[in-house]
Amino acid sequence: MIVHVDMDAFFASVEQMDNPALRGRPVMVGGGDRGVVATASYEARRFGVHSAMPAGQARRLCPQGVFVRPRFDRYKELSGKVMEVLRAHSPLVEQASIDEAYLDAEGLERVYGSLPALVCSLRCAIRTATGGLTCSVGVAPVKFLAKICSDVNKPDGVFILETGDVEAFLATLPVRKIPGVGPRMAEALGKFGIRFASDMRRYSPDFFRTRFGRPGLVLLERAMGRDPRRVEPVREAKSESAEETLAKDTRDLEQLRRILLAHAEKVGRRLRSQKLQGRTVTLKVKYADFTQITRSKTLDAPVASTQGIYGVARELLEAVSLKKAVRLLGVGVSNFGAPRERLTLLSLLNGGRSPEFEGEKRRLKLDRTLDALRERFGEGVVARGALAMHRRDGLAQGQDQRQELDPQPSGRTPEAGNLRG
């Protein structure tokens, strides 16, 4: 059996716990007129407010709501305490996000007496360790069902799906509840009369392969109650990214370049702190009309330096249309770990030295020195000259996030930017 633990309205619940004046009130964690809601309390959700909703729309739906600026350091601190509790209960814990995780419960009934006793111990320990936060727990034979079950009795609830009850559960499970099925997929399935998981069994694997490709076959497996994924205690990061909604839509290329440089520095510092380098740099642009594009380049040599990331992102930006004003700009790095064979070949072709590799090596040496200075003396001790202007551009709420990006092939890293201490 697999346990899925999901903290209840995590960010908003932390704010209500830390500030008694917010308890019982509709709280929305976010900020700015043009930002989005990161998390809404259950009091706010009654008005139709939900995560990722534009802040303006949330204010219209819930004018009496309270907006609170996010405190990510506090959320990370409490998330760490939650994960410590889970790891104290089982050696097999997989953190899925800042506020949710899977736990392998195999054999733990012998320790705790029963699955309900294990779940009770988990919930009580989490509440104590965090100072009063609640979580919802789902238990099922496979991963995707455990995640669905944790949502059944939210908030502060438990749902245990025994193996013998899986068939009946799937018979009435709407396909929209299956992780990975969005509105478009649900609409496409509905055209074939597929509204519940059990409806999928009327069609063959070839039907799903032809119409939906590999995702269709995975979906069919879910409809059968199958999920071969195990709880993996260590998950490798797939990408690092940063994005921000601008305070004002703009087509000013210089301003957009400065924003890219700030993002590149933020992403680069995270990569360097984790000793990671990536070969694919992705640019994300959302226009004022909310249409969105991504552009990517995959490099011969991996990058983690601010200049390396920024150079590629800038080149991608200069290649996209700015006929429409930009609302949001983001940069991401993925495809970690360059194949050694490719780097070796590049080195041999260039007389034993790859220009791309050597250039990135020099940039990383400088960045690590700057990182060490900031770590020791504070953020303001050294800064890139262009970023001083960036800070005056008045950006709205930033939404840094880790996400998977869709890499596209080819490209080399240009040099860019300057430094001022």
Q: What share of the chain is helix, strand, coil (3-state, %, to 5)?
A: 45, 20, 35
pLDDT at 60: 93
DSSP labels, 198-248: GGGGGS-HHHHHHHHHHHHHHHHHHHTT---PPP-S-----EEEEEEEEEE
3-state secondary structure of 4: strand
- Model pTM above 0.75: no
| Residue 404 and residue 239 in contact, taking contact as beta carbons nearer than 8 Å | yes
pLDDT score of 337: 62
Instruction: Return contacts of 344-351, CB within 8 angstroms, 24+ apart.
Output: 346/300, 346/301
The Cα–Cα gap between 366 and 257 comes to 21
Whether 170 and 27 have beta carbons less than 8 Å apart is answered as no
Extract the tokens encoding 43: 């009091």
Specify whether the CB–CB gap between 69 and 45 falls below 8 A: no
pLDDT on residue 297: 93
Cα–Cα distance for residue pair 414/137, rounded to 1 Å: 49
Gap between the Cα atoms of 149 and 392, Å rounded:
47
pLDDT at 402: 36
Task: State residue 344's pLDDT score.
Answer: 41
pLDDT value at position 390?
47
Distance of alpha carbon 24 from alpha carbon 151, whole angstroms = 21
The pLDDT score that the predictor gives to residue 381 is 55
d(CA 363, CA 310): 12
- Using an 8 Å Cβ cutoff, are 59 and 65 in contact? yes
Helix 183-190 vs helix 205-223: crossing angle, to nearest 10: 120
The pLDDT assigned to 363 comes to: 84
Question: Which domains, and CATH codes, for the chain?
Answer: 1-141 (3.40.1170.60), 167-223 (1.10.150.20), 239-391 (3.30.1490.100)
Q: Which of 15, 43, 94, 100 is catalytic?
A: 100
What's residue 313's pLDDT? 95
Provide the strand spans (E) within 141-187: 158-160
User: What does the pLDDT read at residue 183?
Assistant: 86
Helix (H) or strand (E) holding 172: none
| pLDDT tens by residue, the chain, 421 residues | 999 999 999 999 999 999 999 999 999 998 666 788 999 999 999 999 998 888 889 999 999 999 999 998 899 999 999 999 999 999 999 999 899 999 999 888 888 999 999 999 999 999 999 999 999 999 999 999 999 999 999 999 999 999 999 999 999 999 999 988 888 888 999 999 999 999 998 999 999 999 888 888 999 999 999 999 999 887 666 788 898 888 889 999 999 999 999 999 999 988 888 888 888 999 999 999 989 999 999 988 888 899 999 999 999 999 999 999 999 999 999 988 644 434 444 444 444 455 566 778 788 888 888 778 777 776 665 566 655 554 544 444 444 443 333 333 333 333 333 333 3
User: Is 100 among the catalytic positions?
Assistant: yes
The pLDDT, as a whole number, for residue 62 is: 94
> Who contacts 402 (Cβ-Cβ below 8 Å, separation ≥6)?
237, 238, 239, 240, 241
Q: Which amino acid is at 229?
A: R
pLDDT at 164: 94
> In DSSP terms, which residues pair with 333 in a beta bridge?
240, 281
Question: d(Cα 139, Cα 160) in Å, to the nearest integer?
Answer: 5
